Structures are given as C-alpha cells and as structure tokens.
Amino acid sequence: MTTLNMRQKIISYLADAEENKVKAIYTLLERDIDEGEAFLLSDEQLDILEQEEELHLTGKTKSYTKDEAIQIIRRQRDF
C-alpha cells in the first residue's frame, strides 16, 4: 500500500471515528502538529494547489460546499 493510500484511509477513518480514538491519535501526533512539521507541502504539491485554485477561480472546475463534499464522501463510502 502506498503512503498516499494510507493517508486517504486515515483521513476517511478520522472523519467518522469515535471521539476517544481521535483524541488518542491526536496525542500521538500533537508535537509534530504543533511544530508545523506534519503539514509541509512540497513544491510540486504547491504547484498543483495553485493550478487547482486557478481552475476554480476561472470557473473551469466544479466547486462544492462543505455539505456537498461530505455527501459525496459518504456516498462513496456506502453510508
């Protein structure tokens, strides 16, 4: 399994995980999060974000509200 797949599974899991499990995972990562090391983007990732932002701002891609995004994710997870 690639790290990208692992990240996606973790994000998907955390979206609906029990509170105590989220707190436990946060405790494990808290130091890295507080130091800002957990969310550093590479130059390539920043370029992709800039490209996506441009597509969004020019109306070339579809945008979703938070509620719409949650509905899409839940449908994909068979909820």
17-27 residue pLDDT tens: 999 999 999 99
20 to 12, 17, 24, 43: CA distances (angstroms): 16, 8, 6, 35
- Are residues 48 and 21 part of one domain? no
Question: What pLDDT is attached to residue 44?
Answer: 94
* Nearest partner of 3 among 42, 35, 48, judged by Cα: 42
Q: How many residues are present in the chain?
A: 79
**How far apart are the two ends of the chain, measured CA to CA in Å?**
24
- Are residues 47 and 28 part of one domain? no
Looking at residue 41, what DSSP letter applies? P
- Are residues 77 and 47 part of one domain? yes
CA distance linking residue 4 with residue 6, whole number of Å: 5
pLDDT over 80 (residue 39): no
Question: What pLDDT is attached to residue 19?
Answer: 92
Give me the number of domains the chain comprises: 2
Task: Please give the model's pTM, rounded to 2 decimal places.
Answer: 0.40
Q: Containing domain of residue 69, as a range?
A: 41-79
pLDDT-based confidence at residue 46 (cuts at 50, 70, 90)? very high
